[in-house]
Chains A and B, each alone.
Chain A
Amino acid sequence: MTDNSKSVAPPASPMLDRRDERVAHSASVGDSIRALLDRIRSGDLGMLPVIVGLIIIWTVFSILNPVFLTPNNLVNLLFDSSTVGIISLGIVCMLMVGEIDLSVGSVSGVASAILGVLWVNQGLPAGLAMLAAVAAGALIGFLYAQLFNRFGMPSFVATLAGLLTFLGLQLYLLGTTGSINLPYGSPLVRFGQLMVMPAIVSVILAAVPGVVMLYTGYRTAARRRAAGLSSQSSGGIIARAAAVTIVAELIVAYLNQGRGVPWMFGLFVGLVLAMQYALTRTRWGRSMFAVGGNREAARRAGINVRAIYTSAFVCCSTLAAFGGIMAASRLASSSQQAGTGDVNLNAIAAAVIGGTSLFGGRGSAYSALLGIIVIQSISSGLTLLDLSSSLRYMITGGVLAIAVIVDSLARRSRVSHGRA
């Protein structure tokens, strides 16, 4: 047969996935770095632009105002990042399936209004009021999904209509008072304004990711070896886990010089990790990528595409509502301004700046975390420089434009390098 006519059969490699001699396999650390550079050159940028951006922004602002990099300013920055960051996490879900939600700001505003009205005005328990607000968010997402699935309404139109509708609902709920103050000293407000982790807790939590990486890394490597596949070397696993642990511990140690790590930021990071797991390790997440990449192919593979869209819309609105509750607790009030202004754009910009593609099927939950830190750094830095919000809006808008340009150019480069 044809195989025999081949010049020389390659020596049979023990590894099932190392038999093709055409593929360069990175064995040493140098090879891995070279492969990484190759990937970046072909437009597979991943987290690189956001990390470079963050370094530039922090350098510039700390030169302009040394207060910027003080631990307490960074702690404040993390408090602020968490609220919009949670909203941005929902946007990641929407972008993943190639759709968008422009109404997350209004939905977060409605959620904070529901919280204020039910908790303060109606006297319901805070937990119940929060649950109602989150449920309202889920309902809104379900509504969008119905408009999208049943009437084929483009998501940006459906949610643009929702933006105005729910802004109106927010104003209606708050009525004549205009804003409702949440009781100071209540656990929710203290959570949003004051509560930080004890130093020891933050140090332990910062070590958890490294330990988990070490454990899962070893387990996966053992299973792959048993299955006859190539596996990561122990040295590589340890090096990566150590790098993550060192970075996390350094950040925590620095923040503990000031007030410490906010619990709210811990919650946000927890949600990011949970979302990342769901997106990369579950069938649901795989289906999200597939629907974002090629909707028709996903349908023919037996994926319930409508259900996936519904889950994305519900996920996004629910997280937006939850972010709205966190924002209300941060401000200790449910006001008519909640969720207006730049909240919408910041949440979307954060996801895009962090590297989640506007074109669908490409991104990660980490982009919400890194992206929102970039956005809040700009905002915080400009505030420290005593610049008005007019300038802040313009600069944030410019950063978003740059992020989208990078995304588009990287996509073009990926297509020409066959990495789409």
Chain B
Amino acid sequence: MTNTEQGAARLQGAPATGDPVLSLRGISKHFGAVSALTDIDLDVHAGEVVALVGDNGAGKSTLVKILSGVHQPSAGTIRFQGETVTLDDPSAALSLGIATVFQDLALCENLDVVANIFLGKELNALQMDEVSMETRSWMLLNELSARIPSVRVAVASLSGGQRQTVAIARSLLLDPKLILLDEPTAALGVAQTAEVLDLIERVRDRGLGVVMISHNMEDVRAVADRVVVLRLGRNNGEFTPDASNEELVSAITGASNNSVSRRAGRRQAQAAQHPESGQ
């Protein structure tokens, strides 16, 4: 696909600069005796995709829940657009401009696309302005170059990729500064994954900061500008997307001896024996 070409072209370009939209310093979160997060630092700039990777239990989702206002941190400061903020509940995060696309998308399948995009934010509470809502929905979806056949069909009849599109369009409705995507491609097929990665690039190109959680290294490599690794609730390295799988996997698992590194070792050994065959 063209994704890889775009990815390669972008790597040569300058990474996002300027003041970070979001800046976390020393964020910790304890659940009783368990320290889910310890001293996490994270910066996200405008127009930048930061991939958050880590093993199960590394604290990725806890971090996203703190940023979306679902959990409150036990310690540390969150600075958003240069100001220290507290995120007491989901609506506080939303009104600051932090939108979250949850892993399960949180769409109402019985409602149509327009109703889902505007859920809880309908125009004109006592006489809903369906025409303006529909127009705005089309504008949002078109900005994302989304391929939704009709905004008047129930979400139940849309494919996984289209639902993801609707969820992302909804997160863009309130003009956020930062979007959090929790496993946006976990449940998707090949074509739909490519579609969602395209979407993420378009969101980034609009100048938004994007934090993406993913287990899929290929997806991370395709769109991320930086890869932040969490391990057991701590920062465990920051990589560029062209870092090798070995480096990433050993940062994620904390072990340098695993199947990926062993295979890479074998390949290197082979390559040394037959230099012409290449990798």
Contacts and interface: CB of A to CB of B under 8 A. Distances in A.
B147 interface: yes
B106 A300 contact: yes
A300 B102 contact: yes
A52 interface: no
B108 interface: yes
Interface residues of A, number: 41
A45 to B, nearest CB: 15
Contacts of A362: 110
Interface string B109-133: 1110001000111100111101110
A302 B132 contact: no
Nearest to B156: A420
Interface string A1-37: 1110100000000001100101100000000000000
B145 interface: yes
- Report whether over half of chain B's contact residues are helix, strand or loop; otherwise say mixed: loop
Interface in A283-306: 283-284, 286-287, 289-290, 292-294, 296-298, 300-303
B183 interface: no
Given A302-B120, A419-B157, A17 B151 contact: yes
B109 A298 contact: no
Given A290-B108, A420-B110, A282 B120 contact: no
Given A3-B145, A17-B150, A361 B110 contact: yes
A282 B128 contact: yes
For B105, B106, B119, B132, the residue with the greatest tally of chain A CB atoms inside 10 Å of its CB is B119
B138 A298 contact: no
A147 to B, nearest CB: 25
B20 interface: no
Nearest to A284: B125
A214 B111 CA distance: 26
Contacts of B157: 417-420
B264 interface: no
A286 B106 contact: no
A16 B119 contact: no
A220 interface: yes
Interface stretch (A199-207, A223-231, A371-379): A223-231
Interface string A229-271: 1000000000000000000000000000000000000000000
A282 B119 contact: no
Interface string A163-178: 0000000000000000
Contacts of A150: none
Interface string B66-110: 000000000000000000000000110010000000100111111
Given A16-B135, A223-B131, A418-B156, A289 B110 contact: yes
A149 to B, nearest CB: 17
Interface of A: 1-3, 5, 16-17, 20, 22-23, 220, 223-224, 227-229, 281-284, 286-287, 289-290, 292-294, 296-298, 300-303, 361-362, 414-415, 417-420
Given A223-B131, A283-B128, 15 more contacts: A16-B135, A17-B138, A20-B147, A227-B132, A227-B135, A284-B125, A293-B109, A293-B111, A294-B106, A298-B108, A303-B119, A361-B110, A361-B111, A419-B156, A420-B154
Interface of B: 1-2, 90-91, 94, 102, 105-111, 115, 119-122, 125-128, 130-132, 134-135, 138, 145, 147-152, 154, 156-157, 198
13 contacts: A22-B149, A228-B135, A229-B134, A283-B122, A283-B126, A286-B115, A289-B108, A290-B111, A290-B120, A294-B106, A300-B106, A303-B119, A361-B108
